[in-house]
């Protein structure tokens, strides 16, 4: 069953704008990860944030985590057409390597 739920389901922006995607989850987690999937391809890991962290940066990506609200956000700054893809959050629980994925946000960046 889905743990994370991304919002919005679809997002269309112009190149150069920022894109923000949100993820909400239900149970306690020990880490949350964001993945990108280009059309017809496998998922690619973007960033991991642990439950004791509040914010993390990687290049043009910024991830925040609010465990009290059980939510996370992914911000892509200065978006490019190449950022067009689906973005998934995945949550890890307990001592398991298992991840539970949301259904994703489909981002379209128009040139």
Partner 1 sequence: DAGVIQSPRHEVTEMGQEVTLRCKPISGHDYLFWYRQTMMRGLELLIYFNNNVPIDDSGMPEDRFSAKMPNASFSTLKIQPSEPRDSAVYFCASSLASGGPYNEQFFGPGTRLTVL
CB of 9 to partner 1, least distance (A): 11
Residue 33 or 73 with smaller CB distance to partner 1: 33
Alpha-carbon gap, residue 55 to 73, rounded angstroms: 10
Nearest distance from C-beta of residue 97 to partner 1, angstroms: 5
Rounded to whole angstroms, how far apart are CA atoms 96 and 91? Answer: 11
Closest contact distance (angstroms) between CB of 72 and partner 1 is 14
- Toward partner 1, which CB reaches closer, 42 or 111? 42
d(CA 3, CA 30): 13
Nearest in space to 104 (alpha carbons), one of 36, 50, 33, 54: 36
Point out which residues bind partner 1 (CB under 8 A). 2, 30-31, 33, 35, 41-45, 48, 50, 88, 92, 96-104
């Amino acid at each position: 069953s889905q743990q994370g739920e991304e919002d919005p389901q679809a997002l269309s922006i112009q190149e150069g704008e920022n894109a923000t995607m949100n993820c909400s989850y239900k149970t306690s987690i020990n880490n949350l990860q964001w993945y990108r999937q280009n059309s017809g391809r496998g998922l690619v890991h973007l960033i991991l944030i642990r439950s004791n962290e509040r914010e993390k940066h990687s290049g043009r990506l910024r991830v925040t985590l609010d465990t009290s609200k059980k939510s996370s956000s992914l911000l892509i700054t200065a978006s490019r057409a190449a950022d067009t893809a689906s973005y998934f959050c995945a949550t890890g629980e307990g001592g398991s390597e298992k991840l539970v994925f949301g259904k994703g946000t489909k981002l379209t960046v128009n040139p």
